[in-house]
Amino acid sequence: MTAQILDGKGLAEIIRAEIKEDVARFVAETQVQPGLAVVLVGENPASQVYVRNKEAACVKAGMKSVMRRLPTETTTEELLALVAEMNADPTIHGILIQLPLPKGIDEQRVLDAIDPEKDVDAFHPENVGLISQGRPRFLPCTPYGVQQILVRSNIETKGKRVAILGRSDIVGKPMALLLLQKGIGADATVTVCHSRTENLAEILREADIVVAAIGKPEFVTGDMLKPGAVVIDVGINRVEKDGVDENGAPIKVSKLVGDVDFESAKEVASAITPVPGGVGPLTVTMLLLNALNAARRQTAAAQASK
């Protein structure tokens, strides 16, 4: 068996085209351009790449992009003041604080300070609570992207056993909440695994769908999977691999890999996401959709209050 490759990059392009059309229609109807603000604190190289990608995607979709870059020395109070300023700005409909923040900044205070109506990452406790009740305002971007891959690839989740590796607030926990809900791309029986889980391989071998999000390079191997399982690899890890130069001499090559050993897993799974080109492009895409929906909500509320 060789698995079907789930092309997240191609799917992201399709959804972004849909979003671009919806943004143009929304602007024509309301004369309001959806605005997304992204705040980057410090000089983290990976974060800088992510922020540039978000800015480019935002502009391409026809949205207003507001970039705020702050020095590493920024204090919690200074960042809170900026958040308050953006909360009050009617032209900014979505606010995203790029994580991780530098040491010394109270990350939780900052995230909690974002207006829940502008919390397009869906990290605010109010939004998390709404998700758990099955009436979300916004859905967290990476789990939302995973769900879109499953739905648009016609992968059945109803009644299926899903194993999620990782219990982070960003992926693992919200992923479980989404799959537990009633409806399309949900209705699953979910097990959340973590660093204290016993008999992990046995749990994985019983799963129809495996979502790996633990940050350990190529941790999940083919012999840990149920034959025919669907594998969604959320991990992005940079590792050194053996390679050769143009003269055939051995060298070390930097490579991006996921939390799943792709080569062994693809021989067992029925479908699998690659790294790169799998879940990653969908994360930014769903951020754009959340920003558009935030603009819709806030514009409707403003019109209703007149």
Q: Which of 22, 119, 121, 259 is catalytic?
A: 121
Q: Of these residues, 22, 98, 259, 298, which one is catalytic?
A: 98
**Residues 293 and 270: beta-carbon distance below 8 Å:** no
Tokens at residue 237, please?
């890890």
* Calpha distance 152→167 (Å, rounded): 25
261 labelled catalytic: no
What element of type H or E holds 64?
Answer: strand 64-70
The rounded distance, in Å, linking the Cα atoms of 38 and 15 is 21
- Cα–Cα distance between 235 and 221 in angstroms, integer? 14
The reply to whether 98 belongs to the active site is yes
Q: For residues 228 and 168, what is the distance between their CA atoms, to the nearest angstrom?
A: 27
Q: How many C-beta atoms surround the C-beta of residue 25 within 10 A?
A: 10
Q: What φ, ψ does residue 285 adopt, rounded to 5°?
A: -60, -45
Alpha carbon distance 230, 210 (integer Å): 6
Active-site choice (54, 160, 173, 226): 54
Whether 9 sits among the annotated catalytic residues: the reply is no
CB of 57 closer than 8 Å to CB of 67: no
Which residues are annotated as catalytic? 54, 98, 121
